[in-house]
Amino acid sequence: MQDIGPLIRLLYQRLKAPDGGNLAQLVPRALGNDQIVPGRSEMAVTKTVVEPGGGWASDGFLVPHTYLGYIAVHYAADVDQHVTFPDEAAIYRVLETFSGLPAVQAEPHFRSLGDAPADWFLNTEPTKAGKPPVLTLAFDFALSIDLTLKEGPPP
C-alpha cells in the first residue's frame, strides 16, 4: 500500500454513515478552538509511527507504519452523560467491525486497527476562543499497514 488515504476515507465514511457511527457533523480534520461546539465531531490523524520489521518484497520495500489518530464528539458541558452512550456504542461498533469490511479485507497491506479506548472529559479548549467548555467523548485509534516504498532496487 502506497497511500493510507483510501483506508482513512473508508473509516471516515463509516463513522458518518447512518448505519455506522451516524456522526453527520463529523469533519475529517482537527477543529479549531472556536469550532468546538456541541453537536460537532472531528477525526484526525495526529502521528505516524514506524514499526519494527519490514523488508523487500516483490512490489517494493515494505515498512510497517501505524497511523495514530482520534475521533471526538462534543456535547454541551451540562449534558447527562447517558446521552453520550449511543454515540460511544456506534463508534465502537464501527471501529471493531472495520477489519471485516470487504474493502479492508481486500487490502493485503492492512495489518490492524488496534484498540480504541474511549475517554470522556470536560474540554476547556473552546474557552480560549471565548466559547463555553464542552463534554468531549474521544476515541484513540491506531491504523497499521505495510507502507510500500517503490524507490530504489532491492539489495
Output the pLDDT for position 153: 61
Output the pLDDT for position 45: 97
Output the pLDDT for position 83: 96
Output the pLDDT for position 70: 96
Output the pLDDT for position 64: 93
Output the pLDDT for position 148: 86
**pTM of structure:** 0.90
Output the pLDDT for position 56: 83
Residue-by-residue pLDDT tens, the chain, 155 positions: 788 999 999 999 999 999 999 999 999 999 999 999 999 999 999 999 999 988 887 778 889 999 999 999 999 999 999 999 999 999 999 999 999 999 999 999 999 998 878 999 999 999 999 999 999 999 999 999 998 887 656 55
Q: Give me the DSSP letters along the chain.
A: ---SHHHHHHHHHHHHSTTTT--TTEESSPPPGGG--TT-EEEEEEEEEEPS--EEETTEEEEEEEEEEEEEEEEETTS-GGGGHHHHHHHHHHHHHGGGSHHHHT-TTEEE-----EEEEEE-GGGGGT---EEEEEEEEEEEEEEEE--S---
Output the pLDDT for position 155: 56
